[in-house]
Every structure is written in C-alpha cells, then in structure tokens.
Amino acid sequence: MTSEVVENEFEFYSKAEKYWKDVPATVDGMLGGYGHISSIDINSSRKFLQRFLRDGPNRTGTTRALDCGAGIGRITKRLLLPLFKTVDMVDVTEDFLTKAKSYLGEEGRRVRNYYCCGLQDFSPEPNCYDVIWIQWVIGHLTDNHLSDFLKRCRTGLRPNGIVVIKDNMAQEGVIMDDVDSSVCRDLDVVRKIIRRAGLHLLAEERQENFPDEIYHVYTFAMR
C-alpha cells in the first residue's frame, strides 16, 4: 500500500512535478535513458490493442483516444494517432505538451486537447473515449488517487471502450523511488486497485524483449 511508503502526500506530488520539470523533452528523457526500447514497446502495445479493435459485436471503436501521462506524445504519435481519428493528451508538465506540438508534426492536427494536469486532479470527459491509455505514470498516484482516477476513467469510456494500463511491476509489495518520487507496485496490488475501481480485467500481458535490468512491465486492459 502506498500509505506505508508515502509519508507526505503533498510532498510526494510536488517532488515528482519538480523532477519532471528538469527532464529533457525528448524520447530518451521520457524513457529515463532507455529511448532505444521505444520501438519494442510500441510494437507490443499495437499488437495488444489491435485485438480489441478487430471486427466483432463488442469491438472497441477508433474514434477517440486519451493518452495519460503523455509527455511529449511518444505514444500519441506512434501508437494512438495511427489507429484513432482524434487523440487528447494529458500531462502534468507544460513544457512537454508544448514540445509535443512540434514533435507530433502534421498529424498533431488531430490532437484535440492538450490538458496540463496531474491525473489525481483530472476527470476525462464522460462517455467520450474508446481507449484511455495510461502508461508509466500510475506510480505517481497514491492508491486512493489511482482508484478514484480509474473510476473517473470508467465513466469516460464510450460503449465497448477500454482502459489500458502499461507499467512497471515490482516483485513484491510497494517500492518507493525517491529520485522521481514514484512507487512501483506488485501485480496483486495493481489488480486489487483495478477491482476496487469497479473495473474488470479483460487481458493481461507481460512485455517481452525489454532489458533484464529493468522492472518487469505488464499491460492490462479493462472496462
């Protein structure tokens, strides 16, 4: 539980904001020096997502997606814009969203909104999104804020829409990272928070071909 490792909630959030303000607005900056894994990450995410976009009675639509913790738009550019008509981006660091406007190029015209906001304070527009994509950012939310945010995401989904979390998983318990002021949870803790938010897991997958020295990364789809 984050309550066991986060002593001061205000400090937890403000320290993270300060950390990201000093990070270069580049793909390498977004990935903590692991920019070279970006293509492996995107290709796996595309395969995972496309199983829900295929034809069928419960097919997830492709009208609009939301990129949470979007940074400069790495996922928006390479995963979401090629699959969805429009995308919205939300990130706490204004400089990243400013950089996104040039990084995304011509296709960036299909980004409707750039929301500068921490996810603990962000509410997706109700009944708006086919896919809400949340990658490498849940560690910046306390358990209660993550559960509440996922509840708000649930109301933000269109019929047959899905919420996707892709993130690092600890081997056991909850581990605090004082450098960027984030936590890493184990699979059981994340599953419990998903259930607490009233969401049902549809699929879960471990990312392959990432460097051995980093945390295991898992992708979850839910609605």
Q: Would the annotation count 120 as a binding residue?
A: yes
Q: Would the annotation count 91 as a binding residue?
A: yes
Chain mean position to CA 3: 22
> How do residues 163-192 score in pLDDT, each as one tens digit?
999 999 999 999 999 999 999 999 999 999
Q: Would the annotation count 135 as a binding residue?
A: yes
Domain 2-222 classification at class level:
alpha beta
The structure tokens listed for 4 are: 């066991």
Q: Would the annotation count 74 as a binding residue?
A: yes
Q: Where are the alpha helices (DSSP H) in the chain?
A: 9-21, 27-30, 38-53, 74-75, 94-103, 143-156, 187-196
Q: Residue 2 above 90 pLDDT?
A: no
Q: Residue 197 above 80 pLDDT?
A: yes
